[in-house]
Every structure is written in structure tokens, then in C-alpha cells.
Structure 1
Amino acid sequence: MDMREVEPAAAAGAGEGVELVYEVTTADLAQAIRVRSRATPALRRQRWLMPLLGVLSLLLGGSTLLTGRGGSKSLMFLGMGLLLCAATLYGPRLQARAFAGMLAKAGRTRTVVDACGIRVTTQLYSSRMDWSAQPVYAETPDAFITLDIDKRAAAMTILPKRGIQVPADVDRLRELLDANLKRI
């Protein structure tokens, strides 16, 4: 799909919109996954529970290994503890890398944020979301991330600041998001 075919926000009757043109990277996605894990209650529990279980497994495995009573169970607990700790540290990056092929196929993304919501167009798809679809957002130094924090949903939209065409539009985008979404 040729990105020039997409109508601008003003022509769509959406009023003053902010346009972003960018390619989503695995670093963007990993950052969004981290933000989402801090925003949803179930993932917040997982953020402290996994390292806690990892450390407890390491302590249990280490103590049984040192006392000589554990044998293969000690190694199992040590391995499980290392795995849980590694998953906590590297999980978002690994999840993002799993989507690298899809991100490459999507290519350049054009997003228009206006009073009606968010319209995302890539080489593969085009979608329009009302503000209610992802009712909260977070701002990081590099991006705005809109989220659906429902525990059964994994919806998020990444709006990298590097994709904003006019520097003053960063503030306009923040104003649009503040007016329509809850900031977390």
C-alpha cells in the first residue's frame, strides 16, 4: 500500500490531528511491553512474583546443594531459579524479538491522532480506534503508549516521538491524549 494514498486527518473530517510516520522497532515494542507490565494489576504481580520465586529457588537449590542432601533436585531448583530471574530481566526483549518479522513486514507506519481517536496505517493493514478502545496512556522519554489494561486484552499502540513530523506537535499530541485518555 502506498502511504501517500492515505487521507490526511483534516480531509477525513477529524479536525486538527497530529501525524506520525515511523517504523516500529523491537526496542519500541520492548519498551511498550515494560510499560504495560507496570500498568496492569496481573502483570504488576508477575513483575515481583517471578523474581521472588527465582531467588527462593536459587536459595533452596543452593542450600540443598551445600548440605549435600539435594542431588538432582538441587540442580533443578538452581536451573528453575536462573530461568525465572532471566525471564524477568530479558522477557520484554525476547517477546519483542518474537515479533521482529511481523514488524519488518508492516514496514513504515503512518498514524494520525485526532479528536476522534487513532488511525494506524501500515503496508499490511489500516485500523481506526475510538478513544474507548485503549482508555489509558503512558509517556516515556521516547514514546507515547496507549493501552487497554483489561486483563483479557493485550492491546497497545506505540507512538514514537521520533515519528512526529513537526516538533511542536509533541505538545499537541500530549494535549490530545490528556483530553481523551487517563494518563498513568
Structure 2
Amino acid sequence: MDMNVEQEQEQAVELAYRLTKADMAEALRARDRHTAAGRRRLWVFRGVGTLLLLLGVPALFASSPSTDKPAFFVAAGVLLWVVSLYGHWLTARAFGGLLAKAGDTRTTVDDSGFQVANQASTTRMGWAVHPTYAETAGSFVLLSEGKGAVAIMVLPKRGAQDPAEVDRLRAILDRNLKRL
């Protein structure tokens, strides 16, 4: 039995990082790309934004615009497109204060789950909390199972001490979670 505990300890991967707004923006973008709710939200924002632009722009340039409605349609259409393209950055920026309070973070991942320790708290979670994950160029994004995948855990790859640990982390995640 001690041999299994030792192997599990050897399999554990420790990441040390400070989560940034860019990390959060990348995670939110991955969530929208890999969840039905995220894809639907983008489709609706872009579709309605385009429709409003198609209604507003021609009316705006008509010889005698009768009301301010065309300007409202154009402004609303542009706003929806901006939110669909840059909403991740805007939301990540809103997390700025929380990220600063968390400070340096140390996350240990093994086959039983993960432990996250930062300035504010230390938390141990099992895999059931985040049953799916997506991999981006810079991180692993663990997602909750709800329709909107509201809960997100971001594990930046730069937190690993060497590239081999990123591969070990990917192997642990593949054994315990569903990859999106």
C-alpha cells in the first residue's frame, strides 16, 4: 500500500503562479468556445447585433430620418458586436481586484483532486467539482458541469517548473476529467 501512496505522490504536479487578467480572459474565451451556452451566447450577440446594424445603417442614411431609432439600432448593434469580441477582456478586468487579493497561488494536482493555496485561503477539491476541462495555448481550464459552466479553475502552464510537468498534468487531467 505504501507503494501506491508513493506513486500517487510522484504523480502529483505542483504549479506556482499568480493568476492574471490575461489568464482569466483566455479561460473565459475557452469556456465560451467549449460550452453550448457560450457558443449560443456568442451566436445571439452577433446575430442580433448584425440584424440591428442591417436595420439601422440604411435608415440612418435615408434622406429624412424621422426619429432617433436608426442611431439607437446602430449603437446597440455595435455594442453587441463589441461585447461578443471583447467581453472576455471586460469580464477578466472585472476580476482584477479578486486576482490581486489572491496573490501568489500554489496548486497541487494528483489523482484524488487538487489543492489550491493562496493568500486568502487553502481549498481541497475533488474531481466532481470540475468534471470537464479544455486546454488552451497557455493553460488548462477546468469547468463545472452546469449549463453555463459557471465555475472555472484556471491552471496556467507557466506555473509548472519544467515542460515535463505540463505533460504529467495533462495525463492526470485525462485520467480524471472529460476533455472538451
Structure-1-length-normalised TM-score: 0.89
Q: Are 1:163 and 2:159 matched, yes or no?
A: yes
CA contact (8 A) 2:132 2:142 kept: yes
Verify the 8 A CA contact 2:35 2:148 in the aligned structure 1.
Answer: no
Cα deviation, 1:12-42, whole Å, max 9, x if unaligned, reads x963300000000000000000111122212
What SS does the corresponding residue of 1:71 show, helix, strand or coil?
A: coil
Q: Which amino acid aligns with 2:175?
A: A
- 2:59 equivalent in structure 1: 64
Answering whether residue 169 of structure 2 is matched by residue 173 of structure 1, we say yes
How do 1:7-86 residues align onto structure 2 when only pairs under 5 Å count? Answer: 15=9, 16-67=11-62, 68-86=64-82
Measured in 2, the distance between the counterparts of 1:65 and 1:170 equals: 54
Instruction: Quote the residue 2:135 is aligned against.
Output: 139
Aligned to 2:114: 118
Does structure 2 retain, via aligned residues, the 8 Å contact 1:40–1:150?
no
Distance 1:20 1:161, change over 3 A: same
Root-mean-square deviation (CA, aligned residues, Å) is 1.7
Query: For residue 108 of structure 1, what is the amino acid of its counterpart?
Result: D
Cα distance change on mapping 1:70 and 1:47 into 2, 3 Å: farther
13-22 or 153-162, which moves further after superposition?
Answer: 13-22
Q: Give the stretch that moved more between structures: 145-154 or 159-168.
A: 145-154
Which residues of structure 1 form unaligned runs of 5+? Answer: 1-9
The runs of 5 or more residues in structure 2 that have no matched partner are: none
Q: Distance in 2 between matches of 1:52 and 1:88?
A: 10
Q: Which amino acid aligns with 1:164?
A: A
2:61 alignment partner, SS class: helix
Moved over 6 A (4+): none
Give the structure with the higher percent helix: 2
Find the counterpart in structure 2 of residue 7 from structure 1: none
- Residue pair 1:61, 1:70 contacting (<8 A) in 2 also: no
Identity %: 48
